[in-house]
Amino acid sequence: MNTLEYSKFKSLLRRVIAIPLVIMAVLAGLLLWETIDLNKSLRSVDHTDQVLDQTGHLLKMLVDIETSMRGYLATGDESLLQPYREGTQQFDSEYRTLYRLLDDNPPQKLQLEDFRAGYERWVGYTDEVIALRRAGKADGAIYESLPGKRGMDALRERISEFQGVEERVRVQRLRTAHARWTLMFTSCLGLGLGFGVFLILFIRYHVERLGTKLLRSEERWSATLDSIGDAVIATNDKARVTFLNPVAAALTGWQAEEALHQPLPHVFKIVNEETGLGADDEVLRVLEERQIFSVTNNVVLIAKDGREIPVEHSAAPILAGKGKVIGVVLVFRDVTERIAGLAEGTTPGAGGTPAVGARRGSQTGRSRPARSDRPDFDGDQNGHDLDDSSSSGVGSRGAPSTAGIDSVNQRWRQIGAHHMQRLASGCVGRPGTGGSH
């Protein structure tokens, strides 16, 4: 997976995560608003209940005042006036409490103010009647026959009307609260189900899309690695085989299915006559140093059936996001024919044709390709042109010298390193190379 494809993959993955989260945040905000609105409605119902309770308390106090006054007028007993005195003293504070509760309802405030004016007129009248009773100039019948009783009846009627209005307000507010509760419940249920269906469809679509992209990438890179002429083995960071292409299967004698998850030294069993390193040592070296490791001479591969095959090979780290090493890719080739060809003085696959110097000795009569046409293989490690290096040791028509053979070996090493760079960059992002098989 190249950088562009990886960037697209991350962008798609972010959408799969971010879009549902944004929708969830919007739904949470909507439900929070409905909750606050419902709570406000419930508080208004509770407020109306407080008004009704306070009105009932005020009415009870008014009844106690009247009863106390009537008892005194009927008997002349001063002790019966005690509730009257206490009630008239507490009435103002109870009235102010009720008046403050009506700040949200100005019309009811006006009703209460009219009630207060009627109450003061009634108390003024009863004080006069009580004074006449003390002086012995009146009895209990005076209250019943004069405007006192009619004034109290008017006060009771006003209180009753006041309570009736508050009861209707309470019913209306209770209906509003119930409607908002119903709306909140249906919203939670509907939005929850709707979001669940959306989330399932959304994730299913994008997961299928991601899966398709990954499958295509897997197929593309598998086909690419299978078609490479070199043998390729990939491992995870535990040095266990995760991929084996057909060429590697033919050389090692292991089929891809049976080699999967096997320790690398079991499948890629090599003997390095110079360093004594095995495949597991080389993999550990690559994992630790995070650099390409290349060996071109004195390495023998011991196949599963016991065959000994001279090979040259390279190993490179497989890097995932942020440079994390997730495995190693090894590229190797059978160099039996090349070694035999070099021993006979021919290049590999040339069929007895004289080696590099002989093939290029006739370049004096034609133009050389521009260096920019072959940027990967033109120079050796010291920046020298391979054509120039071959001219120092190989005649225009003679057999290859030692310098010519070294030039061929150098070119093969450059080709191996070039393959390793391409394969290492290509394997990053393949699900298979990360040990996910």
pLDDT at position 146, please?
67
Best CA proximity match to 47, nearest among 58, 39, 35, 59: 39
pLDDT at position 278, please?
67
Does the pLDDT of residue 110 top 50, yes or no?
yes
pLDDT in tens, 164-223: 999 999 999 889 888 888 888 888 888 888 888 887 887 788 777 777 777 776 777 677
Three-class DSSP category at 69: helix
Kindly state the tokens that stand for 371.
């260096």
- Greater confidence (336 vs 372) lies with 336
Strand partners, 302: 308
What is d(CA 332, CA 247) in angstroms, rounded to the nearest whole number? 9
Residue % of the chain over a pLDDT of 70: 71
Domain chopping of the chain, boundaries: 3-206, 228-363+373-434
pLDDT at position 265, please?
87
User: Which residue type is seen at 82?
Assistant: Q
Of the listed ranges 91-95, 102-106, 355-359, the one predicted with least confidence: 355-359
Does the pLDDT of residue 72 top 60, yes or no?
yes
Contacts 24+ apart (CB under 8 A), 174-180: 174/45, 176/41, 176/44, 177/38, 177/41, 177/42, 177/44, 177/45, 180/34, 180/37, 180/38, 180/41
Element (H, E) at 294: strand 293-295
- Please state which of the four CATH numbers 3.40.50.280, 3.40.50.2300, 3.30.450.20, 3.80.10.10 is assigned to the domain occupying 228-363+373-434: 3.30.450.20
What is d(CA 128, CA 368) in angstroms, rounded to the nearest whole number? 136
pLDDT in tens, 380-422: 433 333 344 333 333 333 333 334 334 444 544 454 454 445 4
pTM of the prediction? 0.46
Contact predicate 222/432, CB 8 Å: yes
Contact predicate 180/37, CB 8 Å: yes
Domain 3-206 has CATH 3.40.50.1970: no
Average pLDDT, the chain: 75
